[in-house]
Amino acid sequence: MSKKINKNALYGNKFLNINESELVLDGIKVKNLIEKYNTPSFVFLEKKIEDNIKKIKDCFLSVFPNSQGFYSTKANYLTEIISVVKNQNFGTEIVGLPELNILKKIEFPFDKVIAGGPYLPNDFLTEIIKTQVKYLIIYDMDDIIRVQKIIQNFGGYKQDILIRIQSQKYTGRLGIVLNETNLKNLKDILNICPNLNYKGILAHWGTQLNSFDDYMQNFQLLIENAINIKKKAGLDTSILNIGGGFPNADSFKKKQLLTILEKFKEKLLENSLDSCSIFYEPGRFIVGDTGFALASVIKYDKAHKTAFLDIGNNLIPKFMKSSLRFYNISKIFEAPNKPIDFMGNTPTDQDILVKNYNFTPSIQTGDYILIANVGAYALSWSTRFPYPNPSLILIKSNQINEIHSRNSLNDFSIH
């Protein structure tokens, strides 16, 4: 007889359920996936990606009809994931040549692409210009003239640029401080760069922002700089890019996001900037809670209440800064009330996935574990160590697509 489980126990993800006493992902039994693909493996849910895009897109369009979203591909650069984004008519934001080559491969429309970053090597910059990527983000004043020189070699079309402004946080170093000197320099440089078209500014406040004040500070920074650019450089700002930094979709309620956006709209009206188009660059919001890792307990140290898994910081690094959720697939109905530590399989004492996590008391060697919230930055930041690659699987409505086989001779980065 199947048992019911409180939806909240599965952290609100409607694609992670209990069906006939088994854990399922979008209708597929997790145990069946393990039997076929073994562990460690990664599973991504296409319908969840689509849902997350729809949620954020609907919120922005309801407040800002001219807004545009650009998926931050560094969060998860798998070709199949970016193809889902393309099919949802959503834009992308890229920071390097490998991402640009993926876009070319799947014929992603370059009029829906933002490119740029603190590091703009010549080969990347040249390809941006050759493919006529719509928007280029400038992090350094010196790069403006570099762009102009390269454009002259490729027909001299007009390149739209946005200026990345430095946040006012103590740790913020990326971007340009638009003080009086730099504003004058910007005006002078653009006067000798006829193929560059200033469109707006980008401000990125941080990661996993869930505080109303964080968003307001970022908005205020954009507003103040747009006003100064007009006043001291004589340039009209038509695009305000609020960057990314959104948390997982399921932890950021629609009502909360709409409240923030409505307040931003009020601020724009107060400062006569309401004609600006609003851009945003979600990464984690779109893919964070769409990814799951399948792992095995390779050893359980009862004395130290520590479970060692066959997956660790080599594939789920601390840099990803995700709130991991653990489920015992083998004992899905057992109450999780015993604090244990989860260690990875890399031979270092630093390979700690989580400490004092309430889990099933009867955990033992051989149990299968599902780890949620690994869709963003896990693979991007992964080192792989000298271990085999995991299998990568994409699911949509009972259809299983193996993106990458653990038996492949290629790394999944170049699949």
Q: 257, 287, 317 — which closes off a domain?
A: 287
Q: How many domains does the chain have?
A: 2
314 and 277 share a domain?
Answer: no
pTM equals 0.94
Taking only the tens place, the pLDDT of each residue in 204-254 is 887 878 788 889 999 999 999 999 999 999 999 999 999 998 999 988 899
- Shared domain for 52 and 160, answered yes or no, is yes
For the stretch 7-54, pLDDT in tens is 434 556 888 888 878 899 998 999 999 999 999 999 999 999 999 999
SS3 (DSSP) at 227? helix
Structure confidence by residue, pLDDT tens digits, 358-400: 999 999 999 999 999 999 999 999 998 999 889 999 998 789 9
The CA distance from 115 to 131, in Å, is 11
Residues 240, 200 contacting (CB under 8 angstroms): yes
- How far is the C-alpha of 267 from the C-alpha of 272, rounded, in Å? 9
Residues 314 and 262 in one domain: no
Does residue 223 sit within a domain? yes
Question: Domain for residue 141, yes or no?
Answer: yes
Same domain, 89 and 109: yes
CB distance 74 to 375 below 8 Å: no
Residues 6 or more apart in contact with residue 415 via CB below 8 angstroms: 78, 79, 392, 403, 404, 408
**Whole-angstrom distance, CA of residue 244 vs CA of residue 25:** 27
DSSP secondary structure, 299-328, as one string: EEETTTTEEEES--TTTS-GGG----EEEE
pLDDT at 412: 82
pLDDT at 5 over 70: no
Strands 277-280 and 68-72: parallel
Mean per-residue pLDDT, 285-297: 97
Tell me: do 345 and 361 sit in the same domain: yes
Q: Tell me the CATH number at 235.
A: 3.20.20.10
HEC profile of 132-171: CCCEEEECCCHHHHHHHHHHCCCCCCCEEEEEEECCCCCC
Q: Given this model, what pLDDT does residue 171 score? A: 56
**pLDDT > 80? residue 314:** yes
**163 and 306 together in one domain:** no
Host domain of residue 228: 48-287
**SS3 at position 329:** helix
Tell me, yes or no, whether 37 lies in a domain.
Answer: yes
Within a 13 Å sphere around the CA of 328, how many CA atoms are in the beta-carbon half?
Answer: 24
Q: Pick the last residue of a domain from 238, 264, 287.
A: 287
Answer whether residue 2 is part of any domain: no
Q: Which residues contact 349 (CB under 8 A, 6 or more apart)?
A: none
Residue 1, in any domain of the structure: no
Q: What is the pLDDT of residue 316?
A: 95
Model confidence band, residue 157 (pLDDT cutoffs 50, 70, 90): confident
- Count the neighbouring beta carbons within 10 Å of the beta carbon of residue 304: 10
Predicted pLDDT of residue 275 = 96
90 or 154: which leads in pLDDT: 90
Q: Which of 287, 316, 351 is the last residue of a domain?
A: 287
Name the average pLDDT for the chain: 92
What pLDDT shows up at residue 48? 96
239 in the same domain as 345: no
Residue 190 lies in a domain: yes
pLDDT tens column, 248-272? 998 889 999 999 999 999 999 999 9
Residues 281 and 376 in one domain: no
Do 116 and 162 reside in the same domain of the chain? yes
Q: What CATH number did the domain enclosing 395 receive?
A: 2.40.37.10
Decide if pLDDT at 279 tops 60: yes
* Residue 380 resides in a domain: yes
Strands 306-309 and 338-343: parallel
User: Do 13 and 84 reside in the same domain of the chain?
Assistant: no
Judge if 41 and 96 occupy the same domain.
no
Task: Say yes or no to pLDDT of 189 above 50.
Answer: yes
Asked if residue 173 is part of any domain, the answer here is yes
pLDDT in tens, 125-147: 999 999 999 999 999 999 999 99
Q: Please tell me whether residues 260 and 317 are part of one structural domain.
A: no
pLDDT tens sequence across 315-359: 999 989 999 999 999 999 899 999 999 999 999 989 999 999 999
